[in-house]
Amino acid sequence: MGGVSASDPPSSDNGSDRSPLVDGQTLVTDGREFAVSVSARRKRLGLTVERDGSLTMRVPQDCEIRRAEAFARKSRSWIEAKLRLREQHRPAHPVRAFREGETFRYLGREYRLLLVDEGGAPVRLVSGRLVLDKAVAVEPRLARRELVAWYRKSGLRWAQGRLQPWAARMEVPEPAVTVRDVGNRWGTYRQGEGENGRVALHWAVFQLPSHLVDYVIAHELAHIKIAGHGPDYWMLLRRAIPDCESRKEELDDLGRRLWLGKIVSAGDG
Ligand SMILES: [Zn+2]
């Protein structure tokens, strides 16, 4: 996925500088920097907000600086809106510490951490508290490993109970399921891994409310019938989950704020 772009029809402006822009130069207008890209095939000016938030202006050959400056000014509110939107969608995954009272989510509910000195399972849910063994909590990396393992185990158990009803509803064979770190996705479906293929779900997904985990599961199951995200894919998914678009929006919003295992580094307290 690239940046977002705007373009402008050719027009005459009343700037001051008539010298042409040079490919690779930086144009500064009203405090904003634009990397200039000159193309002989171009007639219009175009703007792109790159993924890193930098701005590129694509211009035709012999485009006068004043025309580019006028275009930059005219595009100001467009640029601001795009940068604002980018900010709203920027990942904001929290950093956690394993201290008493810190909260972790499971299936949409918040659980405060309770450190205990009793041995037994290193992580467990007991009467509304997430109980962590003290000896584990003092070693953040070990604690993270144990907590992620707990999400994987609990999540897998939960997902296994949902897979069959969803598969029946969507009329697809029930695939195998694993819960692990799926990188920057929430789920994947691989054909041919096992009899009916394999769905992998990110462990972090199980922090979400159950209707969103269901969405992730159904999303992957729909790929058993249709690869990619074309109109026929969404039609299939909408039959199973009529409000799938709003769930997707909710997932995009909550998903960028899920804890992905980042912990306070040693010395930060
Ligand atoms: Zn998909």
Residues 57 and 156 both lie in one domain: no
46 in a domain, yes or no?
yes
Q: Rounded to the nearest whole angstrom, what is the distance from the C-alpha of residue 44 to the centroid of ligand 1?
A: 36
43-87 pLDDT, tens digit per residue, is 999 999 887 789 999 999 999 999 999 999 999 999 999 998 888
Q: Rounded to the nearest whole angstrom, what is the distance from the C-alpha of residue 99 to the centroid of ligand 1?
A: 37
131 in a domain, yes or no?
no
Residues 175 and 243 both lie in one domain: yes
Burial 31-62 (b: 16+ CB within 10 A, else e): ebebbbbbeeeeeebbbbbeeeeebebbbbee
**Per-residue pLDDT for 209 more than 70?**
yes
Q: Rounded to the nearest whole angstrom, what is the distance from the C-alpha of residue 220 to the centroid of ligand 1?
A: 6
53 in a domain, yes or no?
yes
**Per-residue pLDDT for 4 more than 80?**
no
| Predicted model pTM | 0.72
Residues 168 and 61 both lie in one domain: no
Give the separation between CA 28 and CA 72, rounded to whole angstroms: 9
> Which of 57, 89, 121 represents a domain boundary (last residue)?
89
Residues 147 and 249 both lie in one domain: yes
122 in a domain, yes or no?
no
**Per-residue pLDDT for 34 more than 90?**
yes
Domain assignment of residue 160, given as a range:
140-255
240 in a domain, yes or no?
yes
Residues 150 and 247 both lie in one domain: yes
Q: Rounded to the nearest whole angstrom, what is the distance from the C-alpha of residue 81 to the centroid of ligand 1?
A: 28
**Per-residue pLDDT for 5 more than 80?**
no
Q: What is the pLDDT of residue 98?
A: 96
42 in a domain, yes or no?
yes
Q: What is the pLDDT of residue 91?
A: 82
236 in a domain, yes or no?
yes
Q: Rounded to the nearest whole angstrom, what is the distance from the C-alpha of residue 166 to the centroid of ligand 1?
A: 16
Residues 146 and 57 both lie in one domain: no
Q: Which of 116, 209, 214 is nearest to 167 (CA)?
A: 214
116-159 pLDDT, tens digit per residue, is 998 889 999 999 999 999 999 999 999 999 999 999 999 999 99
Give the separation between CA 267 and CA 86, rounded to whole angstroms: 33
Q: Rounded to the nearest whole angstrom, what is the distance from the C-alpha of residue 222 to the centroid of ligand 1?
A: 8
| pLDDT mean across residues, the chain | 90
- The domain tally of the chain equals 2
Residues 184 and 245 both lie in one domain: yes
> Which of 72, 89, 106 represents a domain boundary (last residue)?
89
Q: Rounded to the nearest whole angstrom, what is the distance from the C-alpha of residue 96 to the centroid of ligand 1?
A: 29
207 in a domain, yes or no?
yes
Residues 69 and 148 both lie in one domain: no
Give the CATH number, domain containing residue 221.
3.30.2010.10
